[in-house]
Amino acid sequence: MSDYKHIGKDFVPPDITGKVTGKAKYAEDFRVDGMVFARMYTSPVAHGRVTNIDTSAAEAMAGVVGILTADDVPASEAPSAAILTNTPAYIGDPILAVAAEDEKTVEDALAAIKVDIEPLPFVTDPLDSLVSGGPDAREEGNVYSRSREGSGFKTVKWTSEQIDEFRAGKEPTGEFVNEWNYGDLEKGFADAKVIIEQPFVTTGYAHMSMEPRTAMAYWENGTCYVHGSAQSQSFWMPGLARMLGIEVKDLVLISENTGGGFGSKISAYPIAGLPGYFSKKIGRPVQLRVTREQEYYMGSARVGFQGWLKMGFAADGRATAADVFIIEDIGANATGGDASSAGGAISLVYDPASMRFRGVPVLTNTTPRGAQRGPGQNQIAAAMAPVMDKAARELGIDRLEIRRVNAVNNDTTVNEDQGPVTSAYMKEALDKGAVMFDWENRKNKAGQKGSKVRGIGIGQGYHSAGANGFDGLVRITPNGKIHLHSGVGNLGTYSFASTTRAAAEVLKCEWEDCVVHNGNSEANLPWNSYQAGSVSIFTQTRTNYVAAMDALEKMKQIAAETMGGEADDYDIDGKRIFNVETPEQGMSYGAIAARAIQLGGAYSGQTWPEDIHEITQRSVQNLAGSGLIGVAKDNLPRDGVIPGLACAFVEIELDLETGKYEILDYVGIAECGTVVHPQGLAQQMKGGAVWGMGMVGLERHVYDPQNGLPANVSYHQCGIPSYLDVPSVTRTGAVDIPDPQNPFGARGIGEPAMGCSVAALTSAISDALDGHMFGRTPVSADMIINHVTGGEQSFLPLQTNNF
């Protein structure tokens, strides 16, 4: 690793100066001549049917330019979200949009629109829908299951006795719709010395990206230009084009900077298509401004869990069996899948010898759900950590040790199919963290001073962290510059740039000679993966590697063709290619690029590999003749789950009188293969730590069950952590052992960085309260006080989305 010139080294990302000077442009910072302003009329009821829309008063207002309704946009089949709908399924579901010359007029017009809606039954807590006689969130049913065998609505009802028993912490006996398993579960529990059963709730909560999803669009000569808040760049293109009813070649997406995504902006979301349709209808550029309140109504949110788990452990702490049942709150649009991922995370992180997963995805009339940082893996981290602690206590072994003996390693098999991992060093991560945290000394220092008790916790995080099959594109121009074309979205991780350093590494060039192209599909970008699932580092270092290797091979061929000999006679360094035997015989990168243009063909992009994506093909076509083109699809071998892993150690001081706790120390260790960008990794680990602290103690949805109203629609109401909620210093480290399936040994980390924090903090809270398990996130001060004083909690067991 130390031999690398760029990998593992910090650098100044090309976009950061714009971020500190205010010059960085986000979607709403763009305006064009003739642009009008659009606003949405959103549903005031949780479920209903629009019976009449009267826009006459609005349309009569001077300055109003148009109205867009569900009739103007493609219909979508329930439960999928439409751009606009006449059958709203949650409060805030967009019904229509109005556009006007200025923002005051558009607000006035919005207020003058009358919409009649016939209300329908609604539900905000999955258990209220699952119980016999309970309302269904959709007329088609209350459950929507997605599977390879087929997807569809179902109506699933449990008896009130079954619901009551589930609330009482017993194994659910009601109908389930998803199941997978491996191993002999019965034998696993028979082999166990200790068996722990635990019901749990993890409440959903909003993504709360700082930048609302404002978008602007206009048309020129049949091409739609969209300024959007996108988490991914190239990956958005096919979906957005499909939504707009156009070909990918007729779409330009500009998303230079995105103010956070966290899973909510992975692919083009429905309202990203609204300005395009509106602009086409009225013949003017349209900016749709989305307000902070609207972000809470229709933004997106983490899937909530109501579940039950049972774990068996042998005398040495090895997990022998895991049985998990999860009812997941998938909102009105059936977006989720978190529950099965949670099961997968149990199989990988705790490696039980046998396992069963069962689930019921239940529709609710709440904010649409979506993948949110570690979807499933990070909810289950909260439920699992105290269970591991309890097992350790009952077995009389150290809480660190029970995690070490079950730690995922190179031989671990995972998920339903019990497939391999590319590599895994969780034990090494735990050992490194234990040393940094001084676990051995601190674990024996628990105690109480006055009303303050200390708790220490350990947690582990995981997410599969890589993909393959995408394209890379690099270009060397006659002025000697190396152009690194990145189709990676700029959501704040700097991976759009840090992954291009893989190409700079192969080409042995100076970073100062590199130009990164990104953030605008007109910048000729390659087909790259989604910026989600912690995949970018693994996936796009591979694409940059294969593109740079293609460029290198072409440089050698051109050198041989120009200076004689064979391609293999040549090597590169110091911005030139030279004959290894006679190093004085060589050409500069600029000269090679000029020669590539003269020779044409594949050297300068006149031809390209057949297997690259149409987006990459078009970029190569546009760049043809401008330099030496390196372009390739990532066909490198890949076999098994690519695990992004992390662990954390935390110490808290909890006040038994106030129920509040302070986080005194936090150590997070990344196990993500080779470290590509140390500062960026630290940012992810520390930001992930903050996210975990938010989930465990602060963040939640609250709905008024009488009216289906979201009760918290601002940052502070929803519990976004501030400076004062988290420690001012968090410590991080990395294992830094290369993964064999990445040319540089790298894997991703963004999501496990949070999961380890979730687990460690729940573990520490439990430790401070003598091993008490709340089985719930968030853990509020009220809950702690009620527990300490022996009082009742203010909600039903397993109730969710509640006050």
Contact indicator for 292, 720 with CB cutoff of 8 Å: no
Using N-to-C axis directions, what is the helix angle for 274-282 and 236-244, rounded to 10°?
Answer: 40
| CB of 562 closer than 8 Å to CB of 523 | no
Peptide bond preceding 238 in cis form (omega within 30 of 0): no
> CB 138 → other proteins: shortest distance, Å?
13
Least CB distance from residue 409 to other proteins, whole Å?
30
- Of 503, 510, 475, 477, the closest CA to residue 595 belongs to 477
| Least CB distance to other proteins at residue 44 (A) | 4
Q: Which residue has the tokens 């049917």?
A: 49
Pick the closer one to other proteins by CB: 392 or 718: 718
Cα 309–313–315 angle (5° rounding)?
160
What are φ and ψ of residue 167, in 5° steps?
-60, -30
- Report, in Å, the least distance between residue 183 CB and other proteins: 38
Residue 727 in tokens: 């420690």
Query: By C-beta, is 724 or 792 nearer to other proteins?
Result: 724
For the chain, give the number of residues.
803
- Which is nearer to other proteins, 39 or 776 (by Cβ)? 39
Tokens found for residue 344: 């997968």
Cα separation, 390 vs 62, whole angstroms: 68
What's the min distance (Å) between Cβ of 205 and other proteins? Answer: 12
Smaller CB separation from other proteins, 229 or 766 = 229
- Relative to beta strand 355-362, strand 319-329 is parallel
As measured in angstroms, the least distance from the Cβ of 325 to other proteins is 23
> Minimum Å distance from CB 714 to other proteins?
5
What are the start-end ranges of the H helices in 522-584?
536-563
Q: Quick one: 642 or 676, whose CB is closer to other proteins? A: 676
Dihedral sign (CA 127, 131, 135, 138): positive
Minimum CB distance to other proteins, residue 758 (Å): 13
Closest contact distance (angstroms) between CB of 30 and other proteins is 9
Q: 106 or 615: whose CB is closer to other proteins?
A: 106
Whole-number Å distance between alpha carbons of 464 and 374: 9
Q: Are 630 and 547 in contact (CB under 8 A)?
A: yes
Considering the complex, state which of residue 234 and residue 258 has its C-beta at the smaller distance from other proteins: 258
Nearest approach, Cβ of 339 to other proteins (angstroms)?
23
- CA 571/CA 556 separation, integer angstroms: 7
- The C-alpha torsion from 181 through 185 and 189 to 191, rounded to 10°, is -120
Evaluate whether 455 touches 654 at the Cβ level (below 8 Å).
yes
E strand segments, 570-708: 570-573, 576-579, 586-588, 628-633, 643-655, 661-671, 703-704
Nearer to other proteins, 256 or 351 (CB): 256
| Rg from Cα positions in the chain | 27
Question: Minimal distance in Å, beta carbon 764 to other proteins?
Answer: 18
Contact indicator for 465, 747 with CB cutoff of 8 Å: yes
Nearer to other proteins, 258 or 543 (CB): 258
Q: Are 643 and 351 in contact (CB under 8 A)?
A: no
Closest by Cα among 355, 354, 352, 324 to 339:
324
Q: In what order do the strands lie in the sheet with 514-517?
A: 514-517, 482-485, 471-476, 628-633
Q: Which is nearer to other proteins, 28 or 338 (CB)?
A: 28
Smallest gap from residue 122 Cβ to other proteins (A): 8
Strands (E) located in 89-207: 94-100, 114-119, 143-145, 152-154, 178-182, 194-202
The DSSP secondary-structure symbol of 394 reads H
Taking the least distance from each CB to other proteins, the nearer of 289 and 700 is: 289
Cβ-based nearer residue to other proteins, 340 or 364: 364
Tell me the sheet residues that pair with 254: 227, 520
Q: Which helix (H) or strand (E) holds 331?
A: none
**In whole angstroms, what is the distance from residue 99 CA to residue 38 CA?**
4
Question: Closest approach of Cβ 209 to other proteins, in Å?
Answer: 6
- For other proteins, the closer of residues 289 and 463 by Cβ is 289
For residue 545 the two structure tokens come to 């590697």
5 vs 23 by CB, closer to other proteins: 23
Task: Output the smallest distance, CB 212 to other proteins, in A.
Answer: 7
